[in-house]
Structure formats: structure tokens, C-alpha cells
Amino acid sequence: MLFQCSCSTLLHLQVINHLDRTFVTADAATVCTELEVAHPAAKMMVLATKMQEQEMGDATNLVVTIAGELLNQAEELLRTGVHPSEIVSGYKKASAAALEALEGMAAFTVPDMRDEAALTAALRPVVAAKQHGYEDVIAPLVARAVITAMPQAPKAASVNVDSVRVTQLVGGTLSDSAVVNGAVVQRDTEGSVKAVTDAKIAIFSCGIEATEAETKGTVVIKNAEQLKDYSKGEEASMETAIKSIADSGAKVVVAGGSISEIAAHFLEKYGLMSLRIASKFELRRLCRAVGATAMVRVGPPVPEELGHADVVEVQESASRRVTVFRQNNAEDTGLATIVMRGATKSFLDDVARSVDDAVAVAKQLCRDPRMLPGAGAAEIELAHRLTAMADATPGLEQYAIRAFAEAFEIVPRTLAENAGLKASEVISALYAAHARGEGTVGVNINSEGEANLLDAAGAGVLDSLVVKSSALRLAFDAAITVLRVDQIIMAKAAGGPKPRGPQAPDLD
């Protein structure tokens, strides 16, 4: 099973979905989304994972792992004769106690979300959970992009996840990646103008071409002079529109549709850089990056509709041309783009997913900057406290609470097994350390035995408290909901061979 935790040794899976698209990933949300799950209980866990992905963006693997282990522990209790109602009652008490204890286990607080070093230290474990070995390269890029996209002080720190974009360029190595204060469009410009500084930008959501009449008509042309006059009228109308755009001070024109040949001619004549963007979502992001308003008609823009970029230039990377809209002043930046470089498309896709998770965690840290000790330390501390609670609980519920506590051992056990350590010895050493009051001791995957992975400056392995709390809450709810089910009735497909698909036509 996959496991997503701080500083884990990764197990990547190769998933081929129903469209024959291949995913090589360690992201549980991607695996659960692309797999076709039929069992209702498994679907419930997948829904909990998707909810964690939507709300928090990270720790999706923790939801599946904890919920599955809770059900495994419940199965052992059912075999010994404990009634499901007693298990559910004990699980509910243990879950409430675990979530309450989690609030008091914060070991570090990010002092300032605009401090790049502190934010990098907080995001490094998130990236290492999926791209172990590359966290020192990716985490600083994400931190720099997040700070760039943040509203300037003294406004409260907040992050819009859509304001941090990832552009993938196949070629080079990951260390060649960079952050651009602005937008990067993976297209070349239409004309010969390839670089503009201090550029005012006019953005049109429509194409730049001659307008067509709403009704069809017939024009009778009797001689060559009439044909020339007809073309001249169309050309004069287009030249007037392009000249009015140039007179407004715009140096760059972005169209949301096609640019006709005659429009391209006059754009070149007046020295305007022209670019075509087909995606309306990318067009909106560009408007936010340069502070422009997309116009729905071709004509002279008013000053309030024009955007601005310090540099607009075409760059060539790995035999591919991209257009960069860069702001030199961070206060003018509404969007940051991480240009990711890598050898293969599948690798870049997986890196982009880890970047999205890191940005989502940064958003949650703006809400609650508290962090827990990672590497299984928080889970073992919860197991230690819940075991003591089970010893003090009378009745059959104590067995359910003790099983609930043992379920948390799956976190350090998976870390130890994936690192090639002896899991039973590591867990015994962790229990002994936490019994002595060392609540920040977790699994060190680089050496055998126990290790305190949290230093005084908070540069150790950390997990966001609000993200882990949400993951555990969803895992508890999913497991308890499954245990409450008495019967599952499924309608299965009828037997027999599958119907034949469409065949190639017989051209003979």
C-alpha cells in the first residue's frame, strides 16, 4: 500500500486508466481517482480521499491508510465476538479523544508566512512525501512562488491556489527550473516582434479579424475596380482598428481567437507584438497577471482596460518557444509561474502534482500555522495516549479503544518497512521514547533505531496540524460508517461475453 508521510521512502505505482493513459505516481488521490472501484465500502473510502484532496490538497494517503487499518483492527475484534455496536462506540470515543489530543501536540509554528526560509522548511516534508530526494530543489521554488502570489503586507497572508501555475517543459533537469513573476504562455508570438519592455497590453477575448454580418447577402462585382474597392474598404476598416489600438499606447495585443492575415499585416506595420491564446481560462489568468480587462470587441481600449508588464519576451527552451510576461516589481504580480524542467512528461506530471499539494498546504498554513512532529511521531504519541485511555476504560469498549490505538502503528511501521528497517524493533523503541515524554521522536529512515527529527528551529520533519486533523477526521468517519452497515446489496452485471465493439468497415 502507498503511504504519504513526512520523509517517507516512496513506492510509486503505475496506473493505466480506462483511456489507456499511464500514470506513474505516489499520489494517493491520483490513484483513487483513476482506479475503477466497484465495492461500496471501498467507494466510501475513495470519497473520503477525494474530499481531503478538495479541502486540504494533501494527506490523501493518510486517509486511506488509517481508515483501512481501523477496519482491519475491527475485523479482529469481530472474530473474537465483540459486537459491532461496542466497536463503533469505542471508536467514537477514541476518535474524539485523538482529535482533542492532536490540538495540544503542536511542536512548531511558522512565524511569518512571508519568510521564505521558514516557509521552505514547512513545505519541504510535503514535497519529500512524493518526490523524495528533490525536496531541496522543489520546496524553495514553491515557497518563492507562493510568497510572490500573496497579497502584499499589511494585508493578511493568504494564497489563491490558482495564482501559482506550473508550466512543464520537457528537456533539461529539475535543477534548471525557475520561478517567473508573472505568466508563461507555451506559444510563440504571431509576428516578428519578439521582445517588448515596459509594455502596455490589450487583451481581447475574441479574434482579431473582419466582422461578419449576421445576415447573409450577395455582392455583385462587375469589374476589377469594384473588386479592388471592396478589398480596400475591408483593409481600411482593419487598419483603423489596429491604429487606434497602437495610438492607445498598447505594445502587445493578445487575442482569444484567430488573427486574420490582414490583421497580422497591420499589427506588424504598427510594431505591435501579437499573441493568440485559445484557452479562456489561460486568458483569464493572463488578465490577472498583468492587471488587464479582456475586451469583447476589437477597438481602442481605455486606459483602465490595458494591462502592464515590465518585460514581454519570447524565450526558447528545449527547442520550444514560450512567451513570458514578467513583472520586476512583486507588488504588481497577481500570478506566479513555476517553469518545471524534466526529462519525461510523466515525471513532470508527478512533480506538478507534488507542487499542487505543497501550494494547498501553504494555503492551509495561512489559516493555521501550527505544525506537528512528523515521521510517525504524532501517530505514536496518539497511540501511547489512547492505550492509557483504554486501560482506564471499563467494559468491552476498552478493546475497541486499544484496537483504535494500535491502528496508528501502521504509519511508523510502513515507514520502517519501506526503509528496510525492522519494524517491530523501531516501534518498540518509539513506544519507549514516548513513554519517557519524548513526544517528537519519529522514524529515521536513514539509520536504524530511533531519532528525534525535530530541532529547536523547526527545521526537522513536520506536518501541518490542520491538514492531518482533517485527514484523521475523514478516516475515522469513513471507518465508523462502514462498521455501521449491516448488509451490502450489489447489483452485478449479467454473465456472458462482452458485446463486440465497432469493427472497421469493409472497403472492398
**pLDDT tens, 121-180?**
888 888 887 887 888 888 889 888 888 888 776 566 677 787 888 888 888 888 888 888
Any residues with CB less than 8 A from the CB of 428 and at least 6 apart, and which? none
CA–CA distances in Å: residue 303 to residues 179, 247, 256, 274, 295:
29, 11, 20, 19, 12
The predicted model gives 214-236 an average pLDDT of 72
The predicted model gives 427-432 an average pLDDT of 83
Query: Is the confidence at residue 387, as pLDDT, over 50?
Result: yes
Average pLDDT of every residue of the chain: 79
Chain position carrying cell 514535497: 127
443, three cell numbers: 522514524
Alpha carbons 74 and 322: distance in angstroms, whole number: 55
In this structure, are residues 405 and 382 in contact, taking their beta carbons and an 8 Å threshold? Answer: yes
Alpha carbons 504 and 301: distance in angstroms, whole number: 54
The pLDDT-based confidence of 8 (bands split at 50, 70, 90) is: very low
Strand partners, 204: 255, 295
Alpha carbons 252 and 4: distance in angstroms, whole number: 45
The pLDDT-based confidence of 186 (bands split at 50, 70, 90) is: confident
Residue 199 Ramachandran class (φ > 0 left, ψ -120 to 50 alpha, else beta): beta
CATH 3.50.7.10 domain locations along the chain: 182-332
In this structure, are residues 453 and 7 in contact, taking their beta carbons and an 8 Å threshold? Answer: yes
Query: Is the confidence at residue 17, as pLDDT, over 70?
Result: no
CATH 1.10.560.10 domain locations along the chain: 13-108+371-483
Alpha carbons 83 and 259: distance in angstroms, whole number: 71
Its pTM stands at 0.77
Residues in the chain: 508
Residue 57 neighbours by CB distance under 10 Å: 21
The pLDDT-based confidence of 20 (bands split at 50, 70, 90) is: low
Alpha carbons 458 and 326: distance in angstroms, whole number: 34
- pLDDT at position 458, please? 42
CATH of segment(s) 13-108+371-483: 1.10.560.10
Instruction: Specify the CATH superfamily of domain 182-332.
Output: GroEL (3.50.7.10)
Alpha carbons 208 and 347: distance in angstroms, whole number: 38
- pLDDT at position 35, please? 73
Alpha carbons 501 and 433: distance in angstroms, whole number: 62
For 241-253, how does the pLDDT look when each residue is reduced to its tens digit (9 = 90+)?
888 888 888 888 8
In this structure, are residues 300 and 200 in contact, taking their beta carbons and an 8 Å threshold? Answer: no
Q: Is the peptide bond before 369 cis (omega within 30 degrees of 0)?
A: no
- pLDDT at position 332, please? 52
> In sequence order, which ranges of 104-214 are alpha helices (DSSP H)?
116-128, 135-149
For 435-479, how does the pLDDT look when each residue is reduced to its tens digit (9 = 90+)?
887 777 777 776 654 444 443 334 367 788 888 888 888 888 888
Q: Using DSSP, state whether 249 is helix, strand or coil.
A: coil
